[in-house]
A and B are shown apart, each in its own frame.
Chain A
């Protein structure tokens, strides 16, 4: 059972905007930055969003992140078939002194 809570699945049609939520508590999301990773089938996770809402170079601006209190969201606009993947949120937990992750959300492009 993962420390951060994500919906197990999400879906949308090409061109649509979808959001994925990530819920935590004071010791992790409320107190620290949130990060998002994209994992394509059979590959390692790839950094998608860092420090709540920053995109590494090479990540399209269709991807955006936000945080409010102990929750965070990843938004994907202009959905494309290549966005089909698993998405994970992560944060440092001050009480556990570990990185904690969400259980992952599988995004399907219909």
Chain B
């Protein structure tokens, strides 16, 4: 059974960087058949896919065009986890953030979610 455990601050100041980590159990971040995604959910934007990292002989990243330049997703093989960093945040980035796994082409497992509020 795959489990994704999220951690990170629930409050970020405007213009700062939002950072969250997702610890994986029951699978490997280096798996050749899985992808590791970040998705957020807010009343105004609904569910929004942010990006993913995955390993296929080498590491790959894909990001939503709307966030390119502000987002990085990094795997950490030593801790079997991956992280999200979103810089220059504004109140519009306030949302519940989820880490998820994709396998066989679809999102099957979700983390518990982290409410991140951008406010001073």
Which residues of A does B touch, CB under 8 Å?
2, 33, 35, 43-47, 50-51, 56, 88, 90, 92, 96-104
Contact = CB atoms under 8 A, between A and B. Distances in A.
A107 to B, nearest CB: 17
Given A98-B65, A99-B37, 13 more contacts: A35-B107, A44-B98, A44-B111, A44-B113, A45-B47, A45-B98, A46-B110, A50-B106, A96-B65, A98-B49, A99-B49, A101-B48, A104-B47
A45 B110 contact: yes
B98 A92 contact: no
B92 interface: no
A101 B62 contact: no
B46 A99 contact: no
Which 10 A-B residue pairs are closest in the complex by CB-CB distance? A99-B49, A101-B47, A44-B110, A2-B46, A98-B49, A44-B113, A103-B46, A47-B108, A98-B64, A50-B106
Interface string B36-56: 010100000011110000000
Interface residues of B, number: 19
A88 B65 contact: no
Contacts of A45: 47, 98, 110
Interface in B90-117: 98, 105-113
B64 A92 contact: no
Contacts, number: 48
Interface string B2-36: 00000000000000000000000000000000000
Interface of B: 37, 39, 46-49, 62, 64-65, 98, 105-113
Contacts of A44: 98, 110-113
B63 to A, nearest CB: 9
Contact of A35 (B46, B98, B106, B113): B106
Nearest to B112: A44
Nearest to A50: B106
Contacts of B37: 99
A47 B109 CA distance: 8
11 contacts: A2-B47, A35-B107, A44-B111, A44-B112, A45-B47, A45-B98, A97-B65, A99-B107, A101-B48, A101-B49, A104-B47
